[in-house]
Amino acid sequence: MAFLNSILLWGGLALAGISVPIIIHLLNRYRHKQVDWGAMELLRKALVVRSRQVRMEDIILLILRCLAAALIALALARPSLMGSAARGLGKQQVGVVIAIDASYSMSQRDATSRFEQATQRVREVLKTLDPGDPVTIMLMGQRPHILLRNVPYEPQRFAKVLDDAATLSEGLSLERCLEECETLMQELKSPVKECFLVSDAQVTTWKVLSDKSKGSLRALGSQDRSLFYLPTSSPSAENVGISRFELASGALRKGMSARYVAEVENFGASVQQNVIVSLYFNDQKNPIEQQVIPSIAPHEKAAVPFFLRCDAPGNVRLTARLGRDSVMADNSRYAVAHVRDQVKVLCVDGEPSEVPTRAATTYLLKALLPKRAGVVRALSVDRIPWTDLPARKLADYDVVVLANVGDLPTEQVRGMYAYVKQGGGLVMFLGGRVSPQIFNARMKVGEDWLSPGELEEVIKQPADRTAGWSLGPANGSHPIIELVRSLREEVVATARVNRFFKIKLTPGARTVLQVVGPDLPLLAEKQIGRGKVLLWTTSANREWAELPIHPLFPILLHEAVTSLTQEEFERPVMVGAPLSLVLGGESLAGNLTVKNPAGAESAVKVVQREGQSVVEYTGDDMPGFYEMQAPNRPPMTVAVNVDTAESNVECLAPAAMEMAFSGLPVRVPTAGEDLAASIVRTRRGIELWQWLLSLGIGILLLESFLAWRFSKRMAGRSSGELLKSDRETLLADKAAA
C-alpha cells in the first residue's frame, strides 16, 4: 500500500477524520443541566430502563461517524494498492517523464538519424498510456528543454510535439538534466510513476557515470518508481569536425595580414582522406580559399592555416567549413575579427637617455615600427619620459607600455586600473630602476592588484654562465603561447634572458611564457574588467636580456598588441553559455537589439553593473553569428560555436552499457524485445480513493438514516407512548414499594 498524498493522510485522519466526532460526542454529554421536575418522573424512570439501549445506539452512531471520516481522509490521501493483483481491481493511472537526448550526436545519420529512432521509441511508450495520464516530455542538452510539463495525455497533441522536435546544437549535461528529471517525477500524482531516458549511449557521456549522476538514477528508480533506459544507435561512428578556429598570428589592422588556423579532428575509427576545408568571408556564398587535407588518422588533428589581408577597417565574419558528413553540427566554426584603422600606442620611458641603446624604449620603438612599408600606417606610437605621463590622457591610446618605470604615484596607478577596466591594454617591462617594495605597494588597488605579479628577488645568471636562459611557452591556450609553439625550437632557443624578477602571481593572473630552467614566469597576464595587463619580468633593453635584439621580439610585441586590443565581442562563445558583454564608452540605458543567425530579432535589456553597461542574452541555442545593435553605436558581432566534446559519436556496446549501469535500478530492454509489452508487464498499482470515498459517503448516509430513526423513536417515548413492558416494570416497582 502506498499513499500519493501522505501529508493529507495523517492530518486528515488523525485530526479531522477521527478526533472531531469523538470530541463532539464528549461535549454533548456535559452540555445538559439536570433539573428535577415531578411531571418528568415517569419518563425518567422509563429512560433508565432503556438507558442501555440508548447508550448502544449512541456508540453505533459514533463509530459510523468516525469510520466515515476516516474513509474520506484516507481517500484524500489517495492510497494505491501495489502488486500484480491490483490490476484486476480497476484502471491504472500512469505518470510518465520522458527525457530525450537531443544533443547533436543524436543527429548522426545512416538510414535514419538517432533522434528519429528516439522519437519512434517514445511513440511506442505513449501507446501504453490512456488519455488523461499525466506526461512530461523533456529534451536533454546543455540544459533541460521542457516541451510538455505534467500534461494529460492526448494522442494527437503529443504526436505533433514529437513531429516538431529536433536536435540541439549542444552537448549533453547529464547531471543537470537528471536533476531536473527528479523534480519532474516528484510533480507526478499517480500510483504508477515511470521515467524513460532515451539516448544514444554515447561513450563520452555514459561510459563512466559521476557519483551525482548515479545518485539521480537511484532516486529515479526507487521503490515506487520505474526507470527505463532506451538506447538508440547506428552502425557507423565516423565523424570529422572542426575543433578550433582562431587567430594564430599577425595583426588585425588595416593593410596588414593575419594568419588563422582551423584545427580539423577525426573523431572516428577510420582514416579520413581528402578532407576539404573552406574559408568564407562575411556573407559571401563562395569560399575565398580552400585547402585539402590528404589524410587524417583516427583521433588525430590537422592544422590548416588561412591568411587574411585586412584592407578595410570594421568587423569581419570568418567561417571555416567542411563538406557534408553524418554529423553536420561540428562542420562549421565561426570567428569575428575587428579590424582597426590604426592602433595608438604610448611608450613611457622610465630611463630616458641621450645614448639610444641605453634608453628603456629604444628597442620597443624599433620592434613596433620596423622600417617596412605599411606598418607605420597601422601603428601610431608616441614615446614620452615617465615624468610627462600625468599630462597624457590614457583614454586616447589603445595600449600603454611602461618600460623600467621606477615609481608611479598612487593616483596614476588608480587611473591606469580604471583605464584597463574600461578596455585598455597595459604592458609593463621591469628593470634596474624598479624597487620591489615600492612596486608592490603602488600596484595594490584596494583589494585587487594592477600587476599580474608581486615582485620578489632578482634572479641573476650564475657566474659561470654567459649565455643566459631561453624562454618557452607555459601550459594552456593563449595566442602568444600558440605562436611560440608554432616556431622552430632552434629559433626560440636563441632568444636569451640574463636577469629577471622572481614573481608571485596575483589573484586572477596566469603565466604565458616562462624562463626555461628555473621554470619561473617571464610573461604573465591578468584580466581586469574589459582589459588586460601583461607583465614582462625582464627589461625591454639589453640591460637584462638579449631578447630585445632577437627577431622573435617584434613578433611577440605585435602579437601582444593584437591580444590587448582584441574587443570582448571577438572572443567566441560556446552554444548553451549565456552571451554576456560589457559595453564600453558612456553608460547605456534601455534595450539593445539582438539578431540571431536565423535573422530573428529580439530586444535585450541593458543593465548597470559596477558602473558599467552590461548586456546578457540567453535567447537562442544555435551556432553562428549574433549581431548586437545599440543606439548610436556601431554593431557588435559575436561568434557562437558548438562544443566538440559531443563530436565523438561512438556508442556503448550492450556489455559496456550493462557495466555502466551495474548496481543501478535501470531497466534496459533487450534488442528485439516488444517494448510496449515489456513496459506494461512491469506496471503495478491501482488507486483506491474512488472506492474509499464512495464507501465513506455511503456510511455517512447510513449514519444519517439511523440517527433519524433513533431520534424519531426517542421523540415517541418522550410524548408518553411507553412500551407495555415499561409500564409493567413500573407497576411492579410500585407494588413492591
- Model pLDDT, residue 374: 46
Q: Which H, E and C letters describe 318-385, residue by residue?
A: EEEEECCCCCCCCCEEEEEEEEECCEEEEEEECCCCCCHHHCCCHHHHHHHCCCCCCHHHHEEEEEEE
Which of 550, 737, 610 is closest to 45 using CA atoms?
Answer: 737
Q: Where are the beta strands (DSSP E) in 655-724?
A: 686-687
Q: Please report which residue ranges of 30-127 form alpha helices under DSSP H.
A: 41-76, 114-126
d(CA 572, CA 567): 11
Q: Which H, E and C letters describe 213-274, residue by residue?
A: HHHHHHHHCCCCEEEEEEECCCCCCCCEEEEEEEEEEECCECCEEEEEEEEEEECCCCCEEE
Tell the residue number behind the cell numbers 537589439, with chain if given: 593
Decide if 594 contacts 626 (C-beta within 8 A).
yes
- Model pLDDT, residue 691: 65
- pLDDT tens digits for range 349-395: 999 888 877 888 999 999 988 765 444 457 889 999 999 999 999 99
d(CA 394, CA 397): 6
- Model pLDDT, residue 11: 47
**Which three-class secondary structure state does DSSP give residue 154?**
coil
Whether the predicted model's global pTM rises above the 0.75 cut? no
Which of 168, 84, 153 is closest to 122 using CA atoms?
Answer: 153
User: What is the sign, positive or negative, of the torsion defined by CA atoms of 650, 653, 659, 661?
Assistant: positive
Pairing of strands 272-281, 289-296: antiparallel
Residues in the chain: 737
Please give the DSSP secondary-structure letter assigned to residue 575.
T
Q: State the fold for domain 343-564.
A: Rossmann fold (3.40.50)
For 89, 213, 299, 324, 373, the CA distances from 274, given in Å and listed in that order, are 67, 41, 16, 13, 39
- For residue 493, give the H/E element and its range: helix 489-493
For 150, 453, 573, 627, 637, the CA distances from 595, given in Å and listed in that order, are 33, 41, 16, 5, 9
Strands in 314-322's sheet, in edge-to-edge order, are 289-296, 272-281, 314-322, 332-339
Which of 132, 133, 205 is closest to 171 using CA atoms?
Answer: 205
Q: Could you tell me which residues are beta bridge partners of residue 51?
A: none
**Which three-class secondary structure state does DSSP give residue 442?**
helix
What residues does CATH 2.60.40.10 cover in the chain? 570-641
Instruction: Work out the burial of residue 365: count CB atoms within 10 Å of its CB; fewer than 13 is exposed, 13-18 middle, 19 or more buried.
Output: middle
Give the three cell numbers for residue 52.
442501555
Which of 679, 704, 668, 651 is closest to 239 using CA atoms?
Answer: 651
Decide if 330 contacts 242 (C-beta within 8 A).
yes
User: What is the sign, positive or negative, of the torsion defined by CA atoms of 619, 642, 577, 104?
Assistant: positive
Decide if 583 contacts 538 (C-beta within 8 A).
no
Give the three cell numbers for residue 529.
574588467
- For residue 678, give the H/E element and its range: helix 675-682
What residues does CATH 3.40.50.410 cover in the chain? 94-236+649-669
Q: What's domain 94-236+649-669's architecture?
A: 3-Layer(aba) Sandwich (3.40)
Decide if 428 contacts 409 (C-beta within 8 A).
no
The segments of the chain whose pLDDT lies below 70 read 1-54, 77-92, 371-377, 463-466, 584-590, 610-611, 684-691, 714-737
Decide if 573 contacts 618 (C-beta within 8 A).
no
Please give the DSSP secondary-structure letter assigned to residue 14.
I
Report domain 570-641's class: mainly beta
Give the three cell numbers for residue 81.
494498492
d(CA 648, CA 201): 12
Angle (deg, nearest 10), helices 20-29 and 41-76:
170
What residues does CATH 3.40.50.880 cover in the chain? 343-564
Burial string for 134-173 (b: 16+ CB within 10 Å, else e) reads bbbbbbbbbebbebbeeeebeeeebeebbeebebbbbbbb
